Amino acid sequence: MPRSQKIALGVMAAFFLLAPLVVYPVFLMKAMCFALFACAFNLLIGFGGLLSFGHAMFLGTAGYGAAHAAKVWGFPPEFAILFGTAAAALLGLVTGLLAIRRQGIYFAMITLALAQMMYFFYLQAAFTHGEDGIQAVPRGMLFGFIDLANVWAMYSTVFAIFMAGFLLIYRVIHSPFGQVLKAIRENEQRAISLGYDVDRYKLLAYLLSATLAGVAGATKTLVFQLASLTDAHWSMSGEVVLMTLLGGLGTVFGPVAGALIIISLENYLAQLGAWVTIVQGVIFVICVLTFRRGVIGEIGNWLRKPL
């Protein structure tokens, strides 16, 4: 890891460790879940060059899976998260096999269509309780002895999951697999001519991204003790695109910053009601017009260091 990224990692960890002293912890937990979600999304678009417009299906599926497992089947939290994640991974495998056959806008449209199908399934299925969602999901005892009803226990758990997920993504990006993925993003035809079966690499990237998005969704469900349609809605798929672009596509820390900014806006501008969407839209336009690399991307470019 270059020094610039080590420093950024330290700053990020320190922020999430110290911020709950002054900021509402539930808000920070939400931010970390979305940050992980955006990082997972960024793995696919920023390093694999694949724009998914249906990532909410993984967030939503893992959320419902974890909520159902914890509430109805009485799973302990670690297994509820694992179950939700596995459900997202399975969905990733199935939808990935379909979607990666196409590129560019077609890929985006297929993922959107599949995500809409999942949304309508969750709207109709009995176990999701439709508009009400699965409420009062018990957080339970982690490993049988850590009571997650305690906000600090929950906070530490989310922090640990977020950091582990973030570092795993970092590892993937810099692995031999990550190198091939970048090559495919840079020049797919050339990667093929060198003998790489690019579809298999794309599928693995898609699967990893879906799985990690699932971790974020399942964790978020335990934080809010709620799985709802919001997480599976197409606007959530759009929001993660916004977070990633705003923070910096293809940067390591950008999605985290983007998620923090968007979640803060939603939180602190909540009294503006529907105007939040308009503010977000304005920010998006400004971002695309004036700092296309995103916040972190621009800072990295200015420092001439990878971030």
Partner 1 sequence: MPDDVILETKGLTKEFKGFVAVQNVSLSVRRGSIHALIGPNGAGKTTCFNLLSHFLEPTRGQILYNGREITGLSPAGIARMGLVRSFQISAVFPHLTVLDNVRIALQRKRGGSFDFWRAGGVLDELNAKARELIESVGLAELESAAAVELPYGRKRALEIATTLALDPEMMLLDEPTAGMAQQDVERISALIKKAAVSRTVLMVEHNLSVVEHLSDRITVLQRGEILAEGDYKTVSANPEVIQAYLGAGHG
Residues of the shown chain interacting with partner 1 in the complex, contacts defined by CB under 8 A: 171-172, 174-180, 182-183, 186-187, 189-198, 200-201, 204, 208
Kindly state the smallest distance separating residue 86's Cβ from partner 1, in Å: 18
| Between 223 and 307, CB nearer to partner 1 | 307
Angle at 141 between CA 129 and CA 23, to 5 degrees: 80
Question: For residues 208 and 242, which CB has a smaller minimum distance to partner 1 in the complex?
Answer: 208
- CB 18 → partner 1: shortest distance, Å? 30
Helix segments in the chain, DSSP class H: 3-18, 25-48, 56-71, 77-99, 104-124, 151-173, 176-186, 188-193, 198-224, 234-247, 254-268, 275-290, 294-303
* Amino acid at the residue 299: I
- Half-sphere exposure of residue 64, counting CA atoms within 13 Å on the CB side? 28
Minimum distance between the CB of residue 57 and partner 1, rounded to whole angstroms?
22
What is the nearest approach in angstroms of partner 1 to the Cβ of residue 189? Answer: 7
Beta carbon of residue 12, minimum distance to partner 1 (angstroms, whole number): 20
Q: Which two tokens stand for residue 115?
A: 């995500």
Nearer to partner 1 by Cβ, of 204 and 283: the residue is: 204
Name the minimum Å distance from CB 247 to partner 1: 19
Question: How buried is 290 (Cβ within 10 angstroms: 0-12 exposed, 13-18 middle, 19+ buried)?
Answer: exposed
Residue (126 or 304) nearer to partner 1, CB = 304
In eight-state DSSP terms, residue 232 is G
Nearer to partner 1, 29 or 180 (CB): 180
Q: Is residue 40 within 8 Å of residue 165, measured between CB atoms?
A: yes
Contacts of 124 by beta carbon, 8 Å cutoff, 6+ apart: 130
Residue 273 CB, nearest distance to partner 1 (Å)? 42
Which of residues 18 and 164 has its CB atom nearest to partner 1 in the complex? 164
Please count the other Cβ atoms lying within 10 Å of the Cβ belonging to residue 281.
Answer: 11
User: Would you say 174 or 305 has its CB closer to partner 1?
Assistant: 174
Structure tokens at 125: 């299925």
C-alpha–C-alpha distance, residues 168 and 161, integer Å: 10
